[in-house]
Structure 1
C-alpha cells in the first residue's frame, strides 16, 4: 500500500453521515459507546460497526474502563477535514444559487 491508498482508507472511513455525526459528537472529548448510539439515533450494533471501522482506519482511539468502552478522536485534524468539507458545501450552494438567480427561471 502506498500513501494515497492509506489516505483513501481514511477518507472512506469518514465518508458516511453516521460516522460524521460520531466525529461531531467526539469533538468535545471521549464518550462511552453507551452514550454515542442514543446521541446519534442508531442501534448499538450498527453504531459499533461504524466505530470499529473508524478505529481500524486510525481516526478513533478507544480505552476500556470496566465493562465500558470509551472512544475519542485520535487526530483532532479530522475535525479540520470535516470543516473544510462544510466550507465546500456552502461555497457550492452559494455558487449554484447565484447561477439560478442570474439566469432567471422562465415559466
Structure 2
C-alpha cells in the first residue's frame, strides 16, 4: 500500500525502494502467497518507468489479469486488455447471478 501511495505522490524511486524491501521480507519469511500482491505493485511501478516488457513479464509470471490488462493498455492494445479481463468478468457475473 505504501508503494502505491508513493507512486501516487510521484515518488517512483521511493516506491521501488518500498517494493524491494517488501519482496525481500516476503521471501525471507516464506510468505510466498503474498508475492502476487507485491508483483502487482511492481507492475505499476514498471509501467510508470516505461519498462513495458518487464511489466508484462511479471504480470504473466504471477498470472495477474488486471496487471496484464494494464500492460496491454500501456501498449495501446485495449482489445487485448478487454480479452484478458473477460474471464474475470464472466466469473463475477456468474457469482452475482447465483446470489
Is the structural similarity TM-score above 0.5? no
Query: Hey, which of these two has a bigger chunk of helix by percent?
Result: 2
Q: With CA pairs under 8 Å and 6+ residues apart, which has the higher RCO, 1 or 2?
A: 1
Task: State which structure, 1 or 2, has the greater radius of gyration over its C-alpha atoms.
Answer: 1
Higher strand share: 1
Q: TM-score, normalised by structure 2?
A: 0.30
Q: What's the TM-score, normalizing by structure 1?
A: 0.28
